Chains A and B, each alone.
Chain A
Amino acid sequence: MATAIEKCVHCGFCLPACPTYSLLGEEMDSPRGRIYLMKNVLEETLSAADAQPYIDRCLGCMACVPACPSGVEYGDLLVSYRMLQERERQRPPLDALARRLVIETLPYPKRFRLAAQTGRIGKALRGALPEAFASMLNLLPEKLPSPLPAPPVLPARGELRAKVALLPGCVQQALAPEINYAAAQALAANGVEVHSPPKAGCCGSILLHVGAEQQAIELARRNFGQFPDDIDAIITTAAGCGSGIHDYELLFKDQPDADRAAAFARKVTDFSAFLSSLGMRERTGFAHERRVVYQDACHLLHAQGQQSEARALLMQIPNLRLLPIADAGMCCGSAGAYNIDQPAIAAELGRRKVASILAAEPDLVVSGNIGCITQLRQQLKSTGNPLPVRHIAEVLWEACAGSE
C-alpha cells in the first residue's frame, strides 16, 4: 500500500481517465484525490469514516492504472485498503446481514439458486456487493434458467490444438449458464478439448472484492486441486473473476501456499485472450452484415490490459463489421451495488455509454462480461431500444457454427 502511495507524484495524468472525476468534477472523487485520502487515513490525519463515501464511490474500474506514468498500482492499493478497512468497519445491521448473505450464498450456485428461488434475496444482497458482481443480480429473472451442465469433457472437434478447463464461476453460472455453455462449444469448434471439472467452484474473487479476505482464501484454495495438471489454460468468461484471480498474489501474501496460488493464477486466461492467441480456425461468419460495437469490460481492458484480443477475434469474422465508439475506455457504470448506492452516477455513466454506442448505429453489442451486458441491457431498455447485447462467447459460437 505504502509503495503505491509513495509512487503517486500527484501529476494528475489519471484524472481524465476516471469516470467519477469526469462526472462529478471534484478532486475527492478522482484517483489522485482518493490516493491522497487513503494516505491521510493511513497516517491517521483523517478518519476512515469521513473518507469512506469517496472510496465507496470508486467503481474499481482501474482506468487510472494504465493512465498513470508513475506506475501507481491503484488496484493493489484499493484492494488492500478495503481489506484493512473491512476489519474495522462498523456497518449498519442490515448491511452486515446482507454481507453475510453474500459470503454464505453467492459463491455457491446451488445455495444461490435455492435462495434466489425462494425469492427476494436480490435486494438485500445487492446493497452489499461490489460493482463487478452485484450487477449480475440484476439478471435475476422471475424464474432462474435451468442449469446447462457442460459434460466433464467436451472433445475437440477436428485436430486437437489445446486442452483447457473452464472455470465455472458462481453467480453467472446460475443466472446465465448459456455463457459458459457457448464458450465450451466455441472452443471445441476450434479444436480445443474443454474440461469442466465437476468439483471446481467459485474462485473467491467475489469475496475478495467485498473485503472478506479469509473466506476468499478458503474458496480459492478449494479449487487448487480440482483442475487437471496437463491443461494449457483455465478459461474464465467473467472479467471480474479473471482480474480477481490475478489479485491472488496480494490475497495469498504470507500464506504457506502462496506459490500454488501464483501457479494457479498464471494459468487463468480470459476466453477472448486465449482464443485470439490460439487463433480461430472456424469462422464461417454471418450470412448478412452485422454492425457490431464491442464494449470493453473495465476488468478486461484496464485491469488486465486487454484492448485488442476480443476485437481481433471479431474482426476475423466474415460479414461482421466492428464499429469504433467515442470514449470506449470509459466505464459503463455497471450497475448492482453501485446502482443502489450511487444511482445517479451509475445511470449517468450508463446513459453516456449507450449514447456513444447508439451513435455508431450498430445492430449488435458484444461484451466479455456479464456485468456490462446487464447494465447495457437495462440502459437500452430504459431508452426503449431493442438492440441486443450478447457475450462474445455466444457470438463466436454462432459465427463458428455459421448459423444466422
Chain B
Amino acid sequence: MNRAFIAALESIYPPQRLLTRDVELLPYESDALTAFQTKPAAAVLPDSDDEIIATVRLCHEHAVPFVARGSGTSLSGGSLPIADGLIIGLNRLNRIKKLDPQQRIAVVEPGVINLSITEAAQPYGLYYAPDPSSQSICTIGGNIAFNSGGAHCLKYGMTSNHVLGMKVVLADGTVTQFGSESIEGVGIGPDLVGLFVGSEGLFGIALEITVRLMPQPELYRTVLAAYDDLGRAGDAVSMVVASGLLPGAMEIMDRLAIKAAEASVKAGYPDAEALLIVELEGETLQVNAEFEQLRGIIEASGAFEIRVANSEEERARIWKGRKGAFSAVGRLSPDYIVQDGVVPRSRLGEALVEIGALKEKYGLDVANVFHAGDGNLHPLILYDGRAAGALEKAEALAGEILALCVNLGGSITGEHGIGMEKRDYMPAMFSEEELDIMQALRRAIDPLEIANRGKMFPGGEAPALKQHGMHPLEKAGVISRE
C-alpha cells in the first residue's frame, strides 16, 4: 500500500477512523472463522455514504484491494482481510433511515443489525423475516453479501426474497441504484438486486438497502419432539414435508448440540439423541387447524417425548437454545469447524447416517444443528488444534461431508457462503462454463478484481491458514487446558 494512497485516505478520515497500527488492525484479522488470519494494511471506519464512495474510488484508482466488513461474523472467511489491502468497516453506519408501515418497507444503512429492524418495526406489528442465528449482531450488508437465511426462511425465503432495492457503489466507483422501493418495481428488466445479493462482496458495497417488512404472525405454535435416534428425527421432517404442511421453521439438534445448548442457556431440553423443533405460524384459525395435523404426524413419527410451548417464554427458551448452539459448542471443544451444506430434504435421514459413518472413520466428534426444513445441514466438526494434524483431519472430514451433499444432489453451502473456506469446492458444484460466466460478470463490474479479491473463486492467492498449534504459553508450561 503506497504512501500516496494512505495520504489520500488521511484527507478523508480523521486519525481515529483510519487504522494503521498493529494494535488497531489485529482485531480485524479474522471473522468468525478464526482458522484464517490476515492482517490488513489499513482499515477505515466510514461514517457516511460519501466516505465509502470516495474510499472505493480511491482503491480503484490505486488498484488497492478492499474488503467490506459488517460485524465480522462470517463463518467462511468472507470478511477475512487481504494482506496489503484495506478493510472498510461498515458497522458505524447503523441508522434506519426510513420505516414506512403503510408501504411495509424500511430503508437502512448497511451496518444496521438485522434484529434492529425487527425491533424498530415491532410497534407497527411488522418484522423483518430473515432470521440468521446471528441476527442479534450480523449486519444487513453482510446478510446481503451472503444471502443469509435462518430458521424461519423455510416459509418466507432467504434475504434475497426480502430486499427490494439498494443503492450501491460498484468496485470501479460507479454509484447506482438497483431495484426500487416497491414490490412491483422488481419485476421489470433483469433482476440486478438478485445479482448483487449473494455476490459475497465481489461487486462492491451496498450503501443503502430497502427491505420488505412482514406483518407479525398472529399466532405461533411451537413443538419440541425428542427422539432416541437421529435418523428418525430426519424422517419426521420428511413426513411433515410430505403432508403438505409448510411450517415456519423445522430444526434438528443432535445429542452433542443439545448438550452444548443446555450448558449454555439451560433450555431444559429433554435428554435425547435428537430434538426436532417445528413451529407453525400465521393466522390463528389456520395455525390451530394445522397444529392438530402436525401433532398427529409427530406422534406417529416415534418421538418419545413431545412438548408444546404454552407461552411466549417457553417458546423463546426453545429457540434460545437453538440459536446459541453454535457458539455454545465452544464449551465442548477447544476448536471446531462449522460446516454448511445442503441435501434434498427427502434424503436427510440418509445424509445423517453417512455423516455418522464419516465421524467413525475420522475418529472426530461431529455435532449436528441444522435447518432441517430446507435440508440445510450444519455439522460442527470438533477437533483439538493442539494435536498435530488435527485441523487437517477436521478439514478433510468437512470436505467429505460437502462431497456427500453434492453427491446426494444438494449444495456446498446453504447460507454461510463460499468465502475463503470453500472456494476450492466450487468446481464440485459448478461446471467450468458456469464459473466462467461468473468470472466474466465479475470482471465486467470489477476489472481490477479489487473487491474481496481471492474469495469465492477457486485458486487465487494461497489462503492465510494459520496452524492451530500448541499455544505458546502452553509450550512454555505457563498454562494448561483441562
Contacts and interface: CB of A to CB of B under 8 A. Distances in A.
B293 to A, nearest CB: 34
Interface in A234-263: none
Interface in A1-26: 1-3, 6-13, 15-16, 25-26
Interface stretch (B21-29, B156-164, B279-287, B387-395): B21-29
A37 B331 CA distance: 21
A169 B472 CA distance: 41
B89 interface: yes
Contacts of B328: 69-71
Interface string B116-156: 00000000000000000010111000000000000000000
A88 B11 CA distance: 39
B393 to A, nearest CB: 19
B272 interface: no
A72 to B, nearest CB: 8
Given A11-B327, A25-B91, A3 B71 contact: no
Contacts of A1: 479
A273 interface: no
B472 to A, nearest CB: 5
Nearest to B261: A69
Interface stretch (B30-38, B54-62, B417-425): B30-38
B327 A9 contact: yes
B79 to A, nearest CB: 11
A26 B264 contact: no
A51 B136 contact: no
A10 B91 contact: no
B28 A27 contact: yes
Contacts of A10: 30-32, 34, 72
Interface stretch (A38-46, A217-225, A382-390, A395-403): A38-46
A54 interface: yes
B327 A36 contact: no
Contact of A68 (B21, B92, B327, B329): B327
A30 B327 CA distance: 17
Contact of A16 (B30, B136, B471): B136
A165 to B, nearest CB: 32
A33 interface: yes
B137 A16 contact: yes
Interface residues of A, number: 36
Nearest to B479: A2
Nearest to B328: A69
A45 to B, nearest CB: 8
B334 interface: yes
B23 A51 contact: yes
B473 A43 contact: yes
B376 interface: no
A348 B368 CA distance: 44
A69 B330 CA distance: 8
Contacts of A42: 473
A242 B80 CA distance: 41
Contacts of A68: 327
B264 A12 contact: no
A323 B413 CA distance: 46
Contacts of A27: 27-28, 72, 89
Contact of A40 (B26, B265, B331): B26
A302 interface: no
A69 B471 CA distance: 23
B27 A37 contact: yes
A53 to B, nearest CB: 8
B66 interface: no
Contacts of A46: 22-23, 26
A11 B73 contact: yes
Contacts of A30: 27
A72 B136 CA distance: 18
Contact of A12 (B22, B28, B71): B71
A28 interface: yes
Nearest to B34: A10
B137 A36 contact: no
Contacts of A15: 71, 137
A142 interface: no
A404 interface: no
B327 A6 contact: no
A279 B23 CA distance: 51
Given A2-B471, A6-B334, A11-B32, A69 B265 contact: yes
B46 to A, nearest CB: 10
A16 B113 contact: yes
B264 A70 contact: yes
Interface string B275-296: 0000000000000000000000
A12 B331 contact: no
B3 interface: no
B39 to A, nearest CB: 10
A159 interface: no
B460 to A, nearest CB: 23
A28 B24 contact: yes
A83 B26 CA distance: 23
A2 B330 contact: no
Contacts of B329: 9
Nearest to B326: A11
B481 interface: yes
B110 to A, nearest CB: 13
A26 to B, nearest CB: 6
Interface string A69-96: 1111000000000000000000000000
Given A27-B72, A71-B264, A50 B21 contact: yes
Given A33-B27, A36-B27, A70 B22 contact: no
Nearest to B91: A25
A37 B138 CA distance: 22
B471 A12 contact: no
B139 to A, nearest CB: 10
B420 to A, nearest CB: 15
Contact of A43 (B265, B472, B480): B472
Contacts of B400: none
B23 A13 contact: no
A350 to B, nearest CB: 21
Contacts of B482: 3
Interface string B441-466: 00000000000000000000000000
A9 B27 contact: no
B324 interface: yes
Contacts of B71: 12, 15
B474 A2 contact: yes
Contacts of B327: 9, 11, 13, 68-70
A32 interface: yes
B263 interface: yes
B82 interface: no
B37 to A, nearest CB: 10
Interface in A74-128: none
A9 B331 CA distance: 10
B26 A36 contact: yes
A3 B481 contact: yes
B258 interface: no
A16 B73 CA distance: 13
Given A37-B23, A71-B330, 10 more contacts: A2-B471, A9-B329, A10-B31, A13-B136, A27-B72, A28-B23, A28-B27, A43-B472, A46-B22, A70-B327
Interface of A: 1-3, 6-13, 15-16, 25-28, 30, 32-33, 36-37, 40, 42-46, 50-51, 54, 68-72
7 contacts: A2-B479, A7-B331, A11-B32, A25-B92, A26-B24, A27-B27, A36-B29
The 10 closest A-B pairs by CB, nearest first: A70-B330, A33-B27, A69-B324, A69-B327, A25-B92, A27-B27, A2-B479, A50-B23, A9-B330, A11-B327
